[in-house]
Amino acid sequence: MWERGVAMYRTRLDRENEPGVKKVSRSVIRRLPVYLRVLDNLIGNDVEVISSRELSERTGFTAEQIRKDLAHFGAFGTKGTGYNTEALRSEILKIIGLHEKTAVIVVGAGHLGTALTRYNVNKNPYTHVVAAFDTSPEVVGDKILDVEVLHVSEMEEVVSKHNVRVAILAVPSEHAQAAADQVAGSGVKVIFNFAPLWVRAPDGVFVHNADLSVELQSLIYYATKEREKAH
Amino acid sequence: MWERGVAMYRTRLDRENEPGVKKVSRSVIRRLPVYLRVLDNLIGNDVEVISSRELSERTGFTAEQIRKDLAHFGAFGTKGTGYNTEALRSEILKIIGLHEKTAVIVVGAGHLGTALTRYNVNKNPYTHVVAAFDTSPEVVGDKILDVEVLHVSEMEEVVSKHNVRVAILAVPSEHAQAAADQVAGSGVKVIFNFAPLWVRAPDGVFVHNADLSVELQSLIYYATKEREKAH
DNA sequence: TCATGTGAAGAGCTTCACAGCA
DNA sequence: TGCTGTGAAGCTCTTCACATGA
């Protein structure tokens, strides 16, 4: 991640038996917010219906893939016409779980943590950054936009009070695993980790390691030879 | 996204015929820097040989996958023993193109651009951040660590002088495509874009759109239901 | 004996092609 | 007619299993 996307980084696939839960792949889930953004734009321009072909042109995914993705969750379209933009948007919000603003915390209020806090406050209409956390007395008490920087000792209370289920980790590598343990212990269900180190979490906690240095290093491969252009 | 991961975001696969170029998948290329980091650690601890099984334990990838990945590029191991850490490291550096420090520019010196500049200067031993660029008189002339913030009008000269092939884009969405056009026009071959918008580039220029908001939104899916834990 | 390198099998995801319905 | 929804085919990547060689 970003994208890691994404490839699967684990020794064994242990996605077994989840009874009753239709398994939907990470790739599908990744594309949903992209559809969402296009729908937001269309609705802003009073477009009421869109076909999978038009969505394809605006997202870069094939029309078949878009139809398959949506079909995982139900039949939202009208044959011969397309998809109602408002209705589809509402369905996608429900699928992802964005129909209510998601409470998020940012752990680590250094440069990256500050940037990520601002980024989400300004650019992400579906999340609410409840607080940022740090250990340094120099930043605890500061505000990033309207977000207070609190001491990490207050984390558990904040997480449980606001029912926070998502944490963005932007702490130095040497503290990343400890921070992950702490947020997982506080009840957070998703960890979005930016430290250049793969943090582990107990079962039931979903970890996405963004790892910007690894991502950049892998991109350098495409700088030398002429290769295909991709996402 | 980064990952993106990362799924392929284009309407059609147009990876055709590249004559003589063995096609190596993005997934493989993504894993190489991970092996690299482990090898750096091992070498720092004077470990001279490592088996694919041990690499598996340290990376989370399966041993078979690691052997297959490396076999794409040659036979670097010794049967019955494993891989020589120094030799393997050196091979991976050559494969990715990291055997010489890669010159990188950062476009956009706001909070995110500043954080990304610092991140790469401090955490990425294989890149050299040549300069950051912005248009605002308030930041042009500043320094981020030792990196100068220059006006974008100087970009072409810097890119050609330092043979820069990689650009990190951290500009507002509304300027992202223009910035991408400019860096591509300057001769940059890889664009790592952080604006929440998919920028396009001419053939021959590899674009990776990180898109943190989309990534975060997709993660929220895993916050509600209990799902598998993954990278 | 031990771990690599690799053909074959398997799994998962994408594309194709078309039936079905407005 | 036009576009969705979907089985089937196709493709890519991963895992298995074992021959090979130090």
| Residue A46: how many other CB atoms lie within 10 Å | 7
Which chain B residues touch A118 with a CB distance below 8 Å? 111-112
A190 touches A202 (CB < 8 A) = no
Dist CA B131 CA B146 (whole Å): 9
SS3 call for A154: helix
Nearest to A3 by CA among A216, A215, A218, A229: A215
Report B:113-152 residues touching A (Cβ under 8 A): 114-116, 118-120, 123-124, 126-127
CATH topology of domain A26-96: Arc Repressor Mutant, subunit A (1.10.10)
Nucleotides of C under 7 A from a protein CB: 1-7, 12-17, 20-22
Mean pLDDT calculated for residue range B17-38? 82
- Residue B138 DSSP one-character state: T
Is residue B207 scored above 80 in pLDDT? yes
Nearest to A95 by CA among B215, B2, B230, B217: B217
* Separation of CA B141 from chain center: 27
* pLDDT at residue number A8: 29
Nearest to B51 by CA among B40, B37, B35: B35
* pLDDT at residue number B51: 98
Q: How would you classify the pairing of strands A147-151 and B127-134?
A: unpaired
pLDDT digits (tens, 9 = 90+) for A40-71: 999 999 999 999 999 999 999 999 999 999 99
pLDDT digits (tens, 9 = 90+) for A124-135: 999 999 999 999
Which chain A residues in 5-24 sit with Cβ < 7 A of strand D?
7, 12-13
- From residue A40, alpha-carbon distances to A102, A122, A188, B210 in Å are 18, 16, 28, 20
* pLDDT at residue number B13: 28
Residue A203's pLDDT band (cuts 50, 70, 90)? confident
What is the spatial order of strands in the sheet that B77-78 belongs to?
A: B49-50, B82-84, B77-78
pLDDT digits (tens, 9 = 90+) for A81-123: 999 999 999 999 999 999 999 999 999 999 999 999 999 999 8
Any residues with CB less than 8 A from the CB of A99 and at least 6 apart, and which? A90, A93
Residue B17's pLDDT band (cuts 50, 70, 90)? very low
Is residue A141 scored above 90 in pLDDT? yes
Q: Domain extents for chain A?
A: 26-96, 102-215
Closest residue, CA to C1' of D21: B79
B8 touches B30 (CB < 8 A) = no
For the structural domain made of B102-215, what CATH number should be given?
3.40.50.720
* pLDDT at residue number A226: 54
pTM: 0.89
